[in-house]
A and B are shown apart, each in its own frame.
Chain A
Amino acid sequence: MTEPLLRVRDLKTYFVTEHGRGTARAVDGVSFELHAGETLGIVGESGCGKTVTSLSILRLIPEPPGHIRPGSVIEFEGRNLLALAPPDLRAIRGNQIAMVFQEPMTSLNPVFTIGDQIAEAAIIHQGLSRKAARARAIEMLTLVGIPDPAERVDHYPHQLSGGMRQRVMIAMALVCHPKVLIADEPTTALDVTIQAQILELLERLQAELGMAVLLITHDLGVVAGQADRVIVMYAGQVVETAPTTVLFDGPLHPYTEGLMAAVPRIDAPKSRLQAIPGQVPAATAWPSGCRFHPRCPHAWTKCKIEEPPLLGTGDHTARCWLVLEPARRKPTPAT
């Protein structure tokens, strides 16, 4: 087995809440590995900790109120990013590990041209001259499919559509040819036809540049189409992980099953949607035992008391006691 590019081990990122009344355990013991060239999808609903996980990797968590707990490990090519001095971290951030955010309007600086913003990282990290960096910016705009790149390079963000801005964000992230691209909901703010354009672009660029992608999304459809492996997060933890086809063929965790049944489909017979009752609990008060037990149709006494570890064999594991006691699974109600 080759060494992973990125290894996250027992990551805990906590936040002190507003009035100091509690601690939000937003990410609470997350471990995973990202290998060169692969796409790993992290899927989950609001408040599950997926974005905090991605921000923690680049140490973009505002401290205070947030802090990454001692004992957490984030290794990039064998170096613990959490132990690096700020200049060493800066040499990696935006250079070897880059990030694309959800909201292209708020992530671009409105008072600089898009060319300047793309060129910035090339000047800082690769020591390019202004002129060479501008040429690189035009090259990047061409790569991400922006028409008339030599003209567009001098445009400001407000002159571009949402889809074009997201292309600019991707150009910015890729200008230094990073080994890892973290894409946090890169298409969520876009219309479906524009989303299709951006997903296709990311696929093409990944094949051309050979980078690894950590794709964070709430959309099971996006994950199914793009990811090689999937991590499902709930309540600050990884609750299931498997290769994409294995996960969709036979999810083990009732939360994963619930999510899949809740998605409206256009490719299956129309039927009543299976909603998951209740809602994601607050990060300041995760339930005892299995954090999903209050919403789980199969839960029994043990689930309320004892927290399950990730159970299972090989590359498919789930944080659920049903893996050990499958006979406890209740039949799905007929609808």
Chain B
Amino acid sequence: MTTTPPPLVDIQNLVKHYPGRPPVRAVDGVSLTIAAGQTLGLVGESGSGKSTVGRTVLRLQEPTSGRVLFDGEDVFALATGPLRALRRRMQIVFQDPYSSLNPRMTVARTLREPLEIHRLAPPAQMEARVTALLEEVGLDPAFAGRYPHELSGGQRQRVGIARALSVEPRFIVCDEPVSALDVSVQAQVLNLLADLQKKRSLTYLFIAHDLAVVRHIADHVAVMYLGRIVERAPAAAIYAAPRHPYTRALLSAVPEPNPRAARARIVLSGDMPSPAHPPAGCPFHPRCPHPKKNDRCRTETPALRVTGEGPAHLAACHFAEEPM
């Protein structure tokens, strides 16, 4: 085994609670690392806390506690000036290409703004930079003069990606970047993200609810449930041999475009509980279909631990090794 380089992004025990009585425990102790040039897929259903992790890592929201090191720098300790400089290196692409672009700005102005703020190009070179960015994301430079409403969903998402790329970041949080797109366009944008990663050595935190989409882009996958990581593993391992009952259920529930596939759908009962009232013990226990489930699950929160599938495969289940 080769020695692993230090991670570019190191998330340590991140907590984000929203005030309330009781507080909403959106993120409840998440630790993750992402090596430079790699993609970590962060998967979960609505309300799992996955988007809150993405926004808090970039400090678009202040954390309740925890630490994030970006290339060794403590993101939450930075003052405004250094934080702004850091933002050049960390960017985000949002889910909704309709609401994340300013409808009053042309594509060119949207792309020029970050260049001007960070003083990355003299005025004389602006136009050339915008043209190069548009070409890089596969858009005709003629799009520069258009407004968002004149673009399709896929084209808008390309503009969102170009905007993130404009400041030449090393790290991009992709928050459900293809969820709003049709399947043929989704494939275009996923391929574009993969190509850009290779060309620019980008590091991605790829947040999605769709396990099939994540499989196509991620090197590692972490699964979230009620603010916690319940499983984390190299992508190949998690799809071949999921350990946590929630991951197993999620994978079995993905509808496969194959009518001949033998279906062994694990249908979970009930809904995800509110993060304001997480269940005691294992947060998944009320919905858990594991045959070994017992009183321990109701009282003792399982730690995220190595499950015997190699040192990188972790799961937070007392019975991760038992068959289901």
Q: Which residues of A contact B154 (CB under 8 A)?
A: 279
Residue pair B254, A192 in contact (C-beta under 8 Å):
yes
Residue pair B216, A264 in contact (C-beta under 8 Å):
yes
Residue pair A262, B265 in contact (C-beta under 8 Å):
no
Q: A200-B265, A200-B267, A258-B184 are in contact. Are A266 and B256 (CB under 8 A)?
A: yes
A78 at the B interface (CB under 8 A): no
Residue pair B190, A273 in contact (C-beta under 8 Å):
yes
Tell me, in angstroms, the Cα distance from A25 to B51 when the chains sit together.
Answer: 39
Residue pair B182, A46 in contact (C-beta under 8 Å):
yes
Tell me, in angstroms, the Cα distance from A218 to B257 when the chains sit together.
Answer: 12
A248 at the B interface (CB under 8 A): yes
> Closest residue to B236 on the A side, CB-wise?
A270
B212 at the A interface (CB under 8 A): yes
Residue pair A192, B45 in contact (C-beta under 8 Å):
yes
Interface residues on A, range: 35 or more
Residue pair B216, A262 in contact (C-beta under 8 Å):
no
Minimum C-beta distance from A332 to chain B (A):
15
Q: A200-B265, A259-B183 are in contact. Are A275 and B259 (CB under 8 A)?
A: no
B222 at the A interface (CB under 8 A): no
A109 at the B interface (CB under 8 A): no
A73 at the B interface (CB under 8 A): no
Residue pair B256, A224 in contact (C-beta under 8 Å):
yes
Q: Which residues of B contact A200 (CB under 8 A)?
A: 265, 267
Q: Which residues of A contact B260 (CB under 8 A)?
A: 245, 248
B314 at the A interface (CB under 8 A): no
Name the one of A164, A197, A224 contacting B258, with C-beta atoms under 8 angstroms.
A224
Residue pair A221, B254 in contact (C-beta under 8 Å):
yes
Q: Which residues of B contact A224 (CB under 8 A)?
A: 255-259, 261
Name the one of A196, A245, A265, A280 contacting B259, with C-beta atoms under 8 angstroms.
A245
Chain A interface mostly helix, strand, loop or mixed? Answer: helix
Residue pair B271, A259 in contact (C-beta under 8 Å):
no
Residue pair A266, B182 in contact (C-beta under 8 Å):
no
Residue pair A259, B184 in contact (C-beta under 8 Å):
yes
Tell me, in angstroms, the Cα distance from A225 to B252 when the chains sit together.
Answer: 13
A305 at the B interface (CB under 8 A): no
B251 at the A interface (CB under 8 A): yes
Q: A262-B184, A263-B183 are in contact. Are A193 and B268 (CB under 8 A)?
A: yes
A276 at the B interface (CB under 8 A): yes
Residue pair A275, B256 in contact (C-beta under 8 Å):
no
Chain A positions 197 through 241: 1 when the CB is less than 8 Å from some CB of chain B, otherwise 0: 101100000000000000000111111110000000000000000
B312 at the A interface (CB under 8 A): no
Q: Which residues of A contact B239 (CB under 8 A)?
A: 266
Q: Which residues of B contact A196 (CB under 8 A)?
A: 252-253, 265-268
Residue pair B258, A267 in contact (C-beta under 8 Å):
yes
Residue pair A191, B45 in contact (C-beta under 8 Å):
yes
Tell me, in angstroms, the Cα distance from A276 to B181 when the chains sit together.
Answer: 13
> Closest residue to B46 on the A side, CB-wise?
A191
A10 at the B interface (CB under 8 A): no
Residue pair B209, A191 in contact (C-beta under 8 Å):
yes
Q: Which residues of B contact A264 (CB under 8 A)?
A: 186-187, 190, 210, 212-213, 215-216
> Closest residue to B155 on the A side, CB-wise?
A279
B182, B211, B239, B261, most chain A CB atoms within 10 A: B182
Residue pair A221, B255 in contact (C-beta under 8 Å):
yes
Name the one of A195, A245, A263 contacting B212, with C-beta atoms under 8 angstroms.
A263
B263 at the A interface (CB under 8 A): yes
Q: Which residues of A contact B258 (CB under 8 A)?
A: 224, 248, 267
> Closest residue to B265 on the A side, CB-wise?
A196
Chain A positions 242 through 285: 1 when the CB is less than 8 Å from some CB of chain B, otherwise 0: 00110010000000001111111111001011111101100000
Residue pair B257, A192 in contact (C-beta under 8 Å):
no
Residue pair A197, B191 in contact (C-beta under 8 Å):
no
Name the one of B188, B211, B268 contacting A266, with C-beta atoms under 8 angstroms.
B211
> Closest residue to B212 on the A side, CB-wise?
A264
Tell me, in angstroms, the Cα distance from A262 to B181 when the chains sit together.
Answer: 12
Residue pair A272, B261 in contact (C-beta under 8 Å):
no
Residue pair A193, B45 in contact (C-beta under 8 Å):
yes
Q: Which residues of B contact A163 (CB under 8 A)?
A: 271
Q: A220-B183, A272-B194 are in contact. Are A195 and B253 (CB under 8 A)?
A: yes
B185 at the A interface (CB under 8 A): yes
B14 at the A interface (CB under 8 A): no
Minimum C-beta distance from B244 to chain A (A):
13
Minimum C-beta distance from A177 to chain B (A):
25
Q: Which residues of B contact A273 (CB under 8 A)?
A: 187, 190-191, 216
Residue pair B268, A248 in contact (C-beta under 8 Å):
no
Minimum C-beta distance from B113 to chain A (A):
26
A105 at the B interface (CB under 8 A): no
A194 at the B interface (CB under 8 A): yes
A45 at the B interface (CB under 8 A): yes
Rank and list the top 9 A-B pairs by shortest CB-CB distance, nearest first.
Answer: A221-B255, A276-B184, A275-B187, A273-B187, A191-B45, A196-B253, A220-B257, A262-B187, A45-B182
A-B residue pairs in contact (CB < 8 Å), sample of 8 = A45-B185, A191-B272, A193-B250, A196-B266, A259-B184, A263-B187, A264-B212, A273-B216
Question: Other CB < 8 Å A-B pairs besides A191-B272, A193-B268, 5 of them?
Answer: A193-B250, A197-B267, A218-B182, A222-B255, A245-B259
Taking Cβ atoms with an 8 Å cutoff, the residues of A that contact B are: 45-46, 161-164, 191-197, 199-200, 218-225, 244-245, 248, 258-267, 270, 272-277, 279-280
